[in-house]
Amino acid sequence: MKNTQFRILALIAGILMSAVTFTACDKDDDKGDPPTIVSLTVANDNATATIAFSEVVYKADNQTGNLDKAAFTVTLAGGTATLADFTVTHTAGTNEVVIGLTLNGIANGSEVLTVKPSAANAVYNAKGAGIDAAQTATANLKDTGIIGKWQSSGVNMAPLLVAAGIDSIYAEFKGDNTYVVESFTPDGSKTTLVGTFTQQRAGVGNIWNITVNQSSPTSLVSVGIFEVSPLSPISMKYEIAQTEPAIAGVTPPTAAAGFGSTSGGAFGIWNIQTYLKIN
C-alpha cells in the first residue's frame, strides 16, 4: 500500500514538474517573431519616406515609447543629391514611421535611400521581441523636376511680366501635381493662380516639358519648358505660353528649339523667367 502511495505521489510530482517546465518554456517563446520592415516608400517631393513594419512597434520592450532618430541609420548613395539630415516621426503602437529628409542639391532619381535599425533591439513589437539588426529597406528618390517652392524678383523677372506690372512671383509646385502661384505688383496687390500640372523630361539635355492646367481665377492651359540647375543657389529657367484659349500669333517654346523659342523666337529672352529655389 505504501509503495502504491509513493508511486502515485511520484507520478503527481512528475506531472507538476512537467507542467512547470512546459510553462517556463512557453513563457520564453511567447514573444514570437521579431518585427520586420515590410516596405520603404518615398514621397513624390522627396521630403519624406515612410517605413511600414510587419506589426505595431515601440521604442521599449514594455509597449512604450515612440521610435526616434536614435533607432535608425539612414544613408543616401548615388545620384546628385546628398543627405544633410533626417528626422523621425512615430506614434507608439503603430506600424508606420515617417522619415523626414533634408537634402542638399536636386535629386535625379538615381539616389538610393537605405534605412535600417541602428542596432539589434532598436525596435520592439508588442510582445517585447526586438528587431534583427540585419533588417534593411531601400528605395530610390524621385526625379522631382519642378516640384518645390520657388521665388523670382528683380532682374530674374521675365521682361514680359515686368511690362505687365508684375515685380515678384512665389510659386509652389506640389508632389500631388497641384500648384499655387502668387504674383505681386509694386503696390503689393496679389493675384493667386491655382491648378494642376504634368511634367516629363524632354530628352534634350536637362530640359523638361511642362503643361499647366489653370483652374482659377480663370480656366486656361499653358505649355512650356523648364530647366533646373543644381548649382548653389539652385535656380530654374522657365518659359511657358498659353495655348487654350489660343492667342493669335503665340506658340509655346519647345525643348528642341530651346529657351527663347516662344512664337518661333519672336520674343527672344522676354518670356524667360528665372526662379530661385526656397525649399
Do residues 96 and 176 share a domain?
no
Do residues 236 and 265 share a domain?
yes
Question: Tens digits of per-residue pLDDT, 156-178?
Answer: 999 999 999 999 999 999 999 99
Domain that holds residue 196: 148-277
Do residues 120 and 189 share a domain?
no
Do residues 115 and 183 share a domain?
no
Higher per-residue pLDDT: 91 or 30 = 91
Kindly state whether residue 114 falls inside one of the protein's structural domains.
yes
The CATH number of residue 152's host domain is 2.40.128
Mean pLDDT of 77-102: 97
The CATH number of residue 82's host domain is 2.60.40.1220
Kindly state whether residue 21 falls inside one of the protein's structural domains.
no
Residue 212 CA to residue 142 CA, distance in Å, equals 20
Q: How many degrees, rounded to 5, is the angle at CA 13 between CA 8 and CA 14?
A: 95
pTM over 0.85: no
| End position of a domain, from candidates 140, 161, 186 | 140
CA-CA-CA-CA torsion sign (11, 16, 18, 19) = positive
Kindly state whether residue 27 falls inside one of the protein's structural domains.
no
Number of domains in the chain: 2
Do residues 128 and 42 share a domain?
yes
Do residues 161 and 244 share a domain?
yes
Do residues 131 and 159 share a domain?
no
Do residues 83 and 160 share a domain?
no
Question: Tens digits of per-residue pLDDT, 183-220?
Answer: 999 999 999 999 999 999 999 999 999 999 999 999 99
Kindly state whether residue 44 falls inside one of the protein's structural domains.
yes
Kindly state whether residue 197 falls inside one of the protein's structural domains.
yes
| End position of a domain, from candidates 140, 166, 199 | 140
Specify the DSSP class assigned to residue 124.
Answer: B
Kindly state whether residue 16 falls inside one of the protein's structural domains.
no
Question: Tens digits of per-residue pLDDT, 128-162?
Answer: 999 999 999 999 999 999 999 999 999 999 999 99
- Of the candidates 84, 83, 86, which has an alpha carbon nearest to the alpha carbon of residue 70? 86
| End position of a domain, from candidates 110, 140, 170 | 140
Do residues 95 and 172 share a domain?
no
